[in-house]
Amino acid sequence: MNVGKVPHEAIERVKKLREELNYHSYRYYILNDPIITDHEYDMMLKELMNLEKKYPELITPDSPTQRVGAKPLDGFKEVRHSVRLYSLDNTYSEEEILEFDRRVKRLLGVESLEYVCELKIDGLSISLRYESGILVLAATRGDGIVGEDVTANVKTIKSIPLKLRNPLDIEIRGEVFLPKSEFKSINDERSEEGLPLFANPRNAAAGTLRQLDPKEVARRNLDAFFYQIVDPYKYRLETQWEVLDFMKEIGLKTEPNAKLVGDAMEIIEYWKRWQQDKHSLNYAVDGAVIKVNSIHQQEELGYTAKSPRWAIAFKFPAEQARTKLLDVTFQVGRTGVITPVAELEPVTLAGTVVKRATLHNFDYIKEKDIRIGDQVILEKAGEIIPQIIKPIIELRTGEEKTIEPPTECPVCGEIVGKLKEEEVALRCMNPTCPAKLERRLMLFVSRDAMDIRGLGGKMITRLISTGLVKKFSDLYKLTPFDLAQLGSGVGDKTISNLLKEIEKSKKNPLSKLLVGLGIPGVGKKLAYDLARHFVTLEALEKAGVNELLEVQGVGKELAENIYAFFHNDEIEEELKELKAYVNTEEPKKEVKGILAGKKVVVTGVLKNYTRKEIHDLITALGGEVSSSVSKRTDLLIVGENPGSKLEKAKKAGVKIITETEFQKLIKGDGANDIS
């Protein structure tokens, strides 16, 4: 790297920025204890990007700017693993766990053993190689001997460090996964676009990691946990428990619920506990992995042709239920996609009563040969979305009915079809279909979008059915007289409150408007990034594909979708009218107010605020809302039943005030008490 002509100040500043950004990533993703705001992090990253743009000779592989810097790939190269990745034997039986324990003790000639129990993440195995602490290779498991080089894609996963906290040469094994919340969001988006849904988070993670465009991978928000080091003796590690601690020390994320146990009964207790509690996690787990703790004993036990003798996967039983498919109804989404929905005899599955389930699309129904009247097997994809896995054909009586795709829209009665011949989704082709408009309006008025309180589903349906609202801009033309025509339940107070909410929404920032427009692939976070990058709606409308690609997290496919959205005749016409009523700029944030620069935590039940209301108020007063108490916390606001955060704050010497004291503070009474 030739830096002879680069000013010394720039070299030092780049070095400092990288160190700080890597440290704050470690605090956020590994320790779950951030000490700066997202905005502060973004500003540092932007400064680093500008310096590297000015002095490209300063760019290094471990720079945080390189997470999404790679160009789309032509394909994946094969990688031979330095040490084979074995698969695990598995069992669903408590008796087989007891037999595993007896067999291991017999082979080792011991009477007692320590085991480590780790939750088995339902994701995609990955192997990482670091040289001098820098990530140089990431490979998929493949057949255990040869995998695929996915380094560029893995670099987009923010919880995986590009640079370790120690300058080690080391090889790590782990699991890449898609959080349940992301899985649901992606499938909701794919459903609206008429794309096939992912069957489960594991399939989604695998499909994501094999995307050829790293920017598309970055948009999916993958995560990872790590559980193994190749050649642990090299780092003076003698137990699996020490391996987990060591990985955390060097900056790698481990699953936080591992447990060291002393006998087989404790293994079974761990398995039973997490079989019940797994729904509380934001990632899918399908069992527990049980490992002999001592690495010396692991080596003594060795391997069979396929699996280690010192470990076993203790899997949870599949959560399925049998019920009857009573009928199929059709839902029309905001893009016109018609989705078949199964109406079921109510059945309890994964802790909830299920009455409806997705049937994905008509190709899925045909492939599975699902019929009305069938007894069917039901499962929750990723423990979230109920879906029919298969019909029980052996139980058919001959009275079952074939499910036929609709020949007309179930809402407006107009023609249905496909935008492309190869498309899976069937759509209503009527641009003014009330169902499309209803779904689009519900997104437009939602909390993350224009946040118009009082405009729920029933009110929107009435506004559409009476012809008062046919497009977004019509909301801003409503008068008291118009609303009075809606009839029962819509009195003067309702009308007054609704019109106030509509008026208030006119001042929303551009980012909230972008969420409400329902741009394909653009959620809350990306809407904010687009608004901050382009500042005005006019600039975003004029942006070409290459300009859109400059926004972090926007890949080629997404850039083309955004460009196509703003160059659709119907959208252009709608925005032309909408601009007359709403704000189309993103204001620059200035940190002002009595809580400026203060890190604030809220705990307990509040009488006068919802969580969102008080968080918004703290932010408006210049404060930074945090979810956990640390030594860096400036203020804890306490409601009823505050829990452990109160005790932690007392020990850390954090300023503590009640909800009543907070209200006095914002009115100016006692404002100087916070220091």
User: CATH no. for residue 544?
Assistant: 1.10.150.20
List b or e across 536-547, with b for residues whose CB sees 16 or more CB atoms inside 10 angstroms: ebeebbebeeeb
Quick one: pLDDT band at residue 589, thresholds 50, 70, 90?
Answer: low
Considering its fold, how many domains does the chain have in total?
A: 6
pLDDT at 672: 47
Q: How far is CA 662 from CA 348, 471, 635, in A?
A: 44, 42, 10
Express as a percent the part of the chain with pLDDT over 90: 41
> Does 84 map to a domain?
no
Check whether 661 has a pLDDT greater than 70. yes
Any idea what the CATH number is for the domain that residue 16 is in? 1.10.287.610
Residue numbers in the known binding site for Zn(2+) are 409, 412, 428, 433
- Residue 317 CA to residue 647 CA, distance in Å, equals 39
Same domain, yes or no, for 196 and 257? yes
Q: Please say which residue of 467, 488, 505 terminates a domain.
A: 505
Mean pLDDT of 125-130: 95
- Residue 479 CA to residue 504 CA, distance in Å, equals 15
Q: Give the 3-state secondary structure of residue 325.
A: strand
Quick one: pLDDT band at residue 59, thresholds 50, 70, 90?
Answer: confident
- Residue 54 CA to residue 62 CA, distance in Å, equals 18
Same domain, yes or no, for 144 and 284? yes
- 134-156 pLDDT, tens digit per residue, is 999 999 988 888 888 999 889 98
Check whether 402 has a pLDDT greater than 80. yes
Same domain, yes or no, for 24 and 168? no
Mean pLDDT of 483-498: 86
pLDDT at 667: 74
> Does 425 map to a domain?
no
Phi, psi at 495, each rounded to 5°: -65, -45
Same domain, yes or no, for 131 and 265? yes
- Is-contact 17 44, C-beta < 8 A? yes
> Does 76 map to a domain?
no
> Does 383 map to a domain?
yes
Same domain, yes or no, for 145 and 290? yes
Check whether 262 has a pLDDT greater than 60. yes
Check whether 126 has a pLDDT greater than 70. yes
> Does 363 map to a domain?
yes
Who wins on pLDDT, 518 or 212?
Answer: 518
Quick one: pLDDT band at residue 671, thresholds 50, 70, 90?
Answer: very low
> Does 72 map to a domain?
no
Any idea what the CATH number is for the domain that residue 342 is in? 2.40.50.140
Same domain, yes or no, for 168 and 269? yes
- Residue 400 CA to residue 394 CA, distance in Å, equals 12
Same domain, yes or no, for 460 and 528? no
- 292-319 pLDDT, tens digit per residue, is 999 999 999 999 888 899 999 999 887 7
Looking at every residue in the chain, the average pLDDT score rounds to: 87
Check whether 367 has a pLDDT greater than 60. yes
pLDDT at 382: 59
Same domain, yes or no, for 476 and 573? no
Who wins on pLDDT, 67 or 71?
Answer: 67
Q: How far is CA 596 from CA 116, 625, 675, in A?
A: 46, 11, 11
Catalytic pick among 120, 278, 380, 512:
120
pLDDT at 38: 64
> Does 82 map to a domain?
no
Same domain, yes or no, for 353 and 454? no
- Residue 261 CA to residue 293 CA, distance in Å, equals 9
Give the least confident one: 191-195, 385-389, 393-397: 191-195
478: β partners: none
Range of the domain at 466: 431-505
Same domain, yes or no, for 330 and 385? yes
* Whether residue 120 lies in the annotated active site: yes
Any idea what the CATH number is for the domain that residue 629 is in? 3.40.50.10190
Q: Give the 3-state secondary structure of residue 124.
A: strand
Same domain, yes or no, for 203 and 261? yes
Q: Which pTM was predicted?
A: 0.63
> Does 334 map to a domain?
yes
Same domain, yes or no, for 539 and 494? no
User: In sequence order, which residues have a C-beta less than 8 Å from that of residue 56 and are 6 or more positions away?
Assistant: none
Q: Please say which residue of 249, 283, 315 terminates a domain.
A: 315
pLDDT at 583: 94
pLDDT at 268: 96
- Is-contact 317 92, C-beta < 8 A? yes
